[in-house]
Amino acid sequence: MPQFESRPFGGAAHLALLIAFARSASAARLPGLSYWHAGDIVWQLFPFSHLPVVEDVRLWSDSEGLAGFVLFEPPLNCTFDLRPGIPTDGELLDGMLAWAEERRQYPARPGETVPRAYAVLIPS
């Protein structure tokens, strides 16, 4: 069973890693569609690529490299992608959704009701 490690997005090296991930995932899904293309990654994350840590973007890796990522957009939205071939009913996706739900709860004060989040799943 694969072991997944997660870390927050930080810096230009992670931007380059995500661009390569998007290119590879898009190519693997051809002739089907991919929601996240390399240009989408640049559009969303380039403004933050100079920061050492971006808490609303998290990367998951295993022994094969980048396995997936989540972009959380407060207060409710998250978008994520998995490396093609990783099951969408396994440990990785469960961990990614748990992180997004935890991140969604972060701005809430004790006793405050936070609206339910939704996620966009990128098909493998």
Indicate the domain borders of the chain: 5-120
Instruction: Tell me the DSSP string of 37-95.
Output: -HHHHHHHHGGGTTSS-EEEEEEEEETTEEEEEEEEETTTEEEEEE-TTS-TTSHHHHH
- What is the rounded CA–CA span in Å between residue 87 and residue 66? 15
The reported pLDDT for the residue numbered 114 is: 52
Q: Which CATH architecture has domain 5-120?
A: 3-Layer(aba) Sandwich (3.40)
- Count other Cβ atoms within 10 Å, centred on residue 36: 20
Chain segment 60-91, per-residue pLDDT in tens: 999 999 999 999 887 778 888 999 999 888 89
**Total-model pTM:** 0.80
117 has pLDDT over 50:
no
Q: Cβ(123)–Cβ(83) under 8 Å?
A: no
Confidence (pLDDT) at 58: 94
Helix (H) or strand (E) holding 8: strand 5-9
